[in-house]
Structure 1
Amino acid sequence: MNQVAVLTLQGAGVPKAVHPVIISDDKELVLIDCGYPGSLPLLKQAAAEQGMELDRLTKIIITHHDYDHMGALAACKRAYSRVQVVAAREEAPYIAGEKKSLRLQQAEALYASLPEEQKALARGFQDRLAALEPATVDILVQDRDCFPWGGGIEIVATPGHMPGHISVYLKESKTLVTGDALVAEAGRLLFANPQYTLDMKLAWQSSRKFLDYDTARIVCYHGGIVTENIRAALLAM
């Protein structure tokens, strides 16, 4: 039986609720993004509340290498030894720690221009990024790659927020999991946060690709599920 579960992670160590997604079938249980560092207990609890056991976890798709999306990745790989990590080729070196995080580079570049009263907080943010535990990527994906997991998924390359950012289309449920390519507020669909988007023009071009899909709902990592006025909201961006 194919299932889709939208999780809500909130609690200690999670500054603001985030929404990983689980897709499952008789053979696979696939997690899309995995929360902040230290989030594994919250993941287990949230999955159990949806009637799913992470002991069945086989794959983790990482939409991009921001620490709130891959923070618990290394812990998941240790806890579930058969898990394979799936990500875009462009993101893999950052996830594996072979290249310095682009978010850390951004934070370091902005540091000197900050007011003195903001610098302590900024240093703490840099320290958290630098301490992020890496993990090897096992399966490299690109735009339009398809897999049979959970009734069928398609990888949608959506660079802009990060160069290798991907979204995932779940064919059976007509669900678009958009990572940070889009955000939601009070059920309304909004464009990616410009403060954290490295290439706004490219991010906008990526958002046009969502119009190609027959979509019943969108899941934003920040903001959750949107089901109303999807096409109109995309066209208005």
Structure 2
Amino acid sequence: MKIVELPIEFEFNGQKNYIYPSLIILNNELTLVDTGYTNFLTLIENEISKNEYEIRRLKNIIITHYDDDHIGSLYAFKEKYPWINIIASAIESTYISGEVKSERLMQAEEMLKNMPNKKIKFGKWFIQQLENLKHVSIDEKVLDGDMILDNKCRVVATPGHTSGHISLYFPSLKSVITGDAAVNENHELAIANPYFCLNIEEAEQSLRKIKNLKAETYYCYHGGKLTL
């Protein structure tokens, strides 16, 4: 088993940006963690091919949480590869499937009410992005401590950024896939975008929780891989 970082380059507001989904290779089968923004399917497919893996071996997609940069292309993946098993926490599953209005959308609508005029355009755009996300049913709902991927991966509840956020711990690899529970900032683990955290105290606790795991490598969705 191994984890491969998939650096995805894109432009936002005229600036070059990156996200870093992770690809888990186990028994010649692939598991993708998070799917980027809408229309990132081809970018991710190309990066998987560049690493000389066959997309037809994609068995699972794990979603760490409901945010447009993490679930944007989930619907497209499921539509193109209908056999894929989609895994998410029980809490986030309700938002991804559309059973419950997402926390992030409710937060964005609330923030818009008090936004300064110069930011209102962005606030409305962000709400539109969230409203345009297509709902997808979750095949496998997981809880804190669940062992998945042939018992090689432990689900770690890391709430704060969102209430059902999960990270993934691989004891045999001494590695953690953090999602947005941590960002690689100046070669240190930090809270990802505190301004958007739904509960900053829980986010701080979750950061401490993953720092306390016996890990040497952290795969951060923002900032990329950090090896201690």
TM-score range, shorter chain: over 0.9
**Aligned residue for 1:231?**
none
Counterpart Cα distance in 2 of 1:63 and 1:211: 17
Alignment size in residue pairs = 226
- Please list every run of 5 or more consecutive structure 1 residues that lacks an aligned counterpart in the other structure: 229-237
Aligned to 1:172: 172
Residue identity matched to 1:199: N
Give the aligned partner of residue 140 of structure 1. Answer: 141
**Residue aligning to 1:39:** 40
Contact 1:141–1:155 under 8 Å retained in 2:
yes
Secondary structure at the aligned position of 1:192 is classed as: coil
Deviation at 1:11, TM superposition (A): 2.5
- Distance in 2 (CA, whole Å) between partners of 1:74 and 1:29 is 18
Partners of 1:164 and 1:190 in 2: CA distance: 19
What is the DSSP-based 3-state SS (H/G/I as helix, E as strand, rest coil) of the residue aligned with 1:140?
strand
- Assess, with a 3 A threshold, how the Cα gap between structure 1 residues 172 and 105 changes in structure 2: closer, same or farther: same
Rounded Cα–Cα distance in structure 1 between residues aligned with 2:212 and 2:10? 36
Identical aligned residues as a percent: 36
Residue identity opposite 1:127 in structure 2: Q
Mind listing any 5+ residue stretches in structure 2 that lack a counterpart? Answer: none
Aligned mates of 1:78, 1:128 — CA distance in 2: 20
Maintained 8 Å contact 1:44/1:53: no
Work out the CA distance in 2 between the residues paired with 1:42 and 1:21.
Answer: 13
Q: In the TM superposition, what is the alpha-carbon distance from 1:26 to its structure 2 partner?
A: 2.3
Amino acid at match of 1:160: G
In structure 1, distance between residues paired with 2:186 and 2:46: 24
The letter of the residue matching 1:198 is L
Distance change >3 Å, CA 57–CA 112, structure 1 → 2:
same
- Partner of 2:214 in structure 1? 214
| Distance across 2 between alignment mates of 1:192 and 1:224 | 12
Q: What is the alpha-carbon distance in structure 2 between the residues aligned to residue 27 and residue 79 of structure 1?
A: 20
Describe the superposition over 1:183-202 as per-residue Cα deviations: whole angstroms up to 9, x where unpaired. Answer: 11232221232111100111
CA RMSD between the two structures: 1.7
Name the residue aligned to 2:88.
87
Name 1:154's counterpart in structure 2.
154
- Once residues 17 and 211 of structure 1 are traced to their aligned partners in structure 2, the CA distance between those partners, rounded to angstroms, is 23
CA distance in 2, matches of 1:62, 1:28: 17
Displacement after TM superposition at 1:172 (Å): 2.6
Q: What's the TM-score, normalizing by structure 1?
A: 0.90
- Equivalent-residue separation in structure 2 for 1:104 and 1:29 (angstroms): 31
Residue 3 in structure 1 maps to residue 2 in structure 2: yes
On the 8 A contact 2:190/2:207 being kept in 1, the answer is no
What is the letter of the counterpart of residue 189 of structure 2? L
Q: Secondary structure at the match of 2:145?
A: coil
Q: What amino acid sits opposite 2:7 in the alignment?
A: T
Q: Deviations over 1:113-163 (max 9, x none)?
A: 1122221121111111100111110001011111244x8111000111101
Greater Cα shift, 215-224 or 169-178: 169-178
Q: Which residue of 2 aligns with 1:235?
A: none
- 2:65 is paired with a residue of what secondary structure? coil
Q: Following the alignment from structure 1 to structure 2, what is the Cα–Cα distance between the partners of residues 195 and 144?
A: 28
Q: CA deviation at 1:17?
A: 0.9
Q: Aligned residue for 2:125?
A: 124
Match of 2:195 in 1: 195
The structural deviation recorded for 1:27 is: 4.9
Alpha-carbon distance in structure 1 between the residues aligned to 2:57 and 2:116: 48
